[in-house]
Amino acid sequence: MAIVIDSVSIKGLRRTHFEQLLYHLERSDPGWYYGNKKQFKKRHDEIREWLAGIIETISGEGVVIPK
């Protein structure tokens, strides 16, 4: 049986939460990875882009993430 996850809540988080995640992601040790290195790098880059997009979106004037 499959479980479908169609959304992930960010309620109560602030821009600084996402900036901290991005900080750690960008400073992670490139010498280790799980599985296929090319696929790992692709996922790593996709996560970086996702976090950067969230930060850009919530950095706008008057943007609030509800608790």
End-to-end CA distance of the chain: 32
pTM for the model stands at 0.75
| 11 and 67 Cβ atoms separated by less than 8 Å | yes
Give tens-digit pLDDT for 9-47: 888 889 999 999 999 988 876 677 778 888 888 988 999
Residues 6+ apart with CB under 8 A from 41: 33
Mean pLDDT of the 56-64 span: 87
Q: Domain limits of the chain?
A: 15-58
DSSP-derived letter for residue 30 is: T
